[in-house]
């Protein structure tokens, strides 16, 4: 939807732009889930890390979920840690000793991907916990990630339970680990089997979790349902999710439950603004944009998927929605500025011609874009901006120095 108060041609292109009111709407939904279910919701920084506007995130969510030391530090600095009663929950397929050392001052939960890693770092964490407890602070809680051998995720690149997955301990290996080492210092279990899925997929997954790991749940203080829950999507059944969580907690002595969505926080709350730089002909019209699928919206190639977009005419500043690959009178393939032949965003059509200088709005481009973008070919990173109170503000621009220092 075009904001009549915004001059889209005065905004530098390309730019990722947050619409703050939409973020607040997502946070309100997540807050309701927390209050009515008793679960704690953490922001998974791997999916959404627009920290320059975390003030409301900090107020609403219970903390952050990290997949590495830099994400953990960002969550600690911008959302909070144990001193502010926020969680910093960290998982990695494998930790190095120096990473554990860096996590000790900031993490509230450290989740291991194997019994070997748990045994390797348990003494270090136990020593840190003695120090924390002497100061009257809560200790670091250790957990294990499990693989229930069930996931409905497609394609396979996103499926953490695919054959030979490196993520999570399978039921047989978990039993072997318990027999060898026990669970005396393990406080929680973590699973992450979702990607853009609903509460009914979670319900079916919990059946497998309880089937394979139900024997161990009574020994746990918490269980982390991971991310990939599409909670803020318009058709998501939030009432079913609340009931599901409440029933699970009731079955397991009111165990603490975490969810760690990333995409659901940033879902539909911003767009990537681009400009048409040229139009070439080769068995059809190809619009060359100043944004790249490869560098700026990699999920278009990984998933793959075709993003929703609209054009704003330079001639009359009117917004026109893409009508699909063949629905409109004028058809265009959108391509990026890199030398990669496959740097193609998709095929689009409109009722009116596209012109050089027109602006393109790619919707829902605040999650899994900024966190994954690159400077391939030396293509500049898009600027970062926000629309608040019907006004655009530029928050960050990137320069040659940003490119040079990454290499």
Fold of 8-17+270-365+373-405: Lyase, Ornithine Decarboxylase; Chain A, domain 1 (2.40.37)
Write down the pLDDT at residue 225.
98
CA 106 to chain centre: 21
- For residue 193, is it left (φ>0), alpha (ψ between -120 and 50) or beta? alpha
Write down the pLDDT at residue 87.
98
Domain extent listing, the chain: 8-17+270-365+373-405, 38-266
Helix (H) or strand (E) holding 26: helix 20-37
Rounded CA-CA distance 216/209 in Å is: 10
Alpha helices in 79-186 (DSSP H): 97-103, 115-134, 171-181
386: number of CA atoms within 13 Å, CB side?
14
Long-range contacts, 1-9 (Cβ 8 Å, 24+): 2/310, 2/312, 2/318, 2/319, 3/387, 3/390, 5/390, 5/391, 6/387, 6/390, 6/391, 6/392, 7/317, 8/273, 8/312, 8/317, 8/359, 8/361, 9/312, 9/314, 9/317, 9/359
Write down the pLDDT at residue 303.
86
Closest to 313 (Cα-Cα) out of 276, 344, 345, 287 = 276
Write down the pLDDT at residue 322.
94
Query: What do you get for the CA distance between the two ends of the chain, in Å?
Result: 39
Cis peptide before 175 (omega within 30 of 0): no
Q: Block means of pLDDT (10 residues each) for the chain, length 407 residues?
A: 87 98 98 98 98 97 97 98 97 98 98 98 98 96 98 93 96 98 96 96 98 97 97 97 98 98 97 98 97 95 92 93 90 97 96 97 96 95 97 97 93
CB–CB of 322/309 below 8 Å? Answer: yes
Fold of 38-266: TIM Barrel (3.20.20)
Write down the pLDDT at residue 4.
82
Closest to 197 (Cα-Cα) out of 170, 163, 159, 249 = 159
- Per DSSP (E only), the strands in 72-214 are 87-91, 109-112, 141-145, 186-190
CB–CB of 288/344 below 8 Å? Answer: no
Collect all residues with Cβ–Cβ distance below 8 Å to 304 and sequence separation of at least 6.
none
Task: Provide the 3-class DSSP secondary structure of residue 62.
Answer: coil
Cα dihedral 303, 306, 312, 314 sign: positive
Residue 228 in tokens: 């990939």
Same CATH topology for 8-17+270-365+373-405 and 38-266?
A: no
What is the pTM for the complete model shown?
Answer: 0.95
- Per DSSP (E only), the strands in 290-341 are 309-312, 319-321, 330-335
Collect all residues with Cβ–Cβ distance below 8 Å to 406 and sequence separation of at least 6.
375
């Amino acid at each position: 939807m075009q904001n009549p108060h915004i001059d889209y041609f005065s905004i530098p292109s390309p730019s990722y732009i947050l619409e703050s009111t939409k973020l607040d709407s997502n946070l309100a939904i997540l807050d309701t889930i927390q209050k009515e279910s008793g679960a704690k919701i953490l922001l998974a920084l791997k999916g959404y890390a627009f920290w320059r506007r975390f003030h409301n995130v900090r107020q609403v969510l219970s903390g952050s979920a990290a997949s590495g030391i830099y994400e953990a530090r960002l969550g600690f600095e911008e959302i909070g840690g144990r001193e502010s009663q926020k969680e910093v929950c960290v998982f990695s397929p494998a930790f190095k000793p120096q990473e554990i050392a860096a996590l000790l001052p900031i993490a509230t939960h450290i989740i291991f991907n194997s019994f070997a890693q748990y045994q390797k770092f348990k003494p270090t964490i136990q020593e840190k916990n003695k120090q924390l407890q002497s100061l009257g602070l809560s200790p670091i809680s250790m957990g294990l990630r499990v693989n229930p051998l069930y996931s409905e995720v497609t394609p396979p690149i996103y499926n953490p339970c695919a054959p030979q997955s490196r993520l999570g301990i399978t039921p047989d290996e978990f039993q072997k680990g318990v027999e060898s080492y026990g669970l005396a210092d393990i406080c929680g279990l973590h699973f992450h089997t979702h990607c853009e899925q609903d509460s009914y997929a979670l319900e079916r997954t919990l059946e497998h979790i309880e089937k394979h790991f139900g024997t161990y749940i009574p020994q746990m203080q918490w269980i982390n349902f991971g991310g990939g829950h599409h909670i803020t999507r318009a058709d998501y059944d939030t009432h079913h999710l609340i009931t599901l969580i409440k029933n699970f907690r009731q079955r397991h002595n009111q165990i603490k439950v975490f969810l760690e969505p990333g995409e659901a926080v940033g879902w539909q709350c911003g767009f990537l603004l681009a400009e048409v730089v040229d139009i070439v002909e080769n068995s059809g019209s190809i619009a060359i944009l100043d944004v790249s699928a490869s560098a700026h919206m990699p999920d278009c190639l990984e998933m793959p998927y075709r993003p929703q977009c609209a054009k704003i005419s330079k001639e009359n500043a009117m917004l026109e929605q893409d009508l699909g690959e063949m629905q409109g009178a004028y058809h265009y393939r959108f391509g990026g500025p890199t030398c990669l032949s496959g740097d193609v965003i998709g095929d689009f059509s409109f009722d009116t011609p596209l012109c050089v200088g027109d602006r393109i709005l790619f919707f829902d481009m605040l999650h899994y874009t900024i966190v994954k973008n690159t400077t391939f070919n030396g293509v500049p990173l898009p600027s970062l901006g926000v629309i608040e109170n019907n006004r655009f503000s530029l928050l960050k621009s990137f320069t040659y120095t940003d490119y040079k220092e990454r290499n």
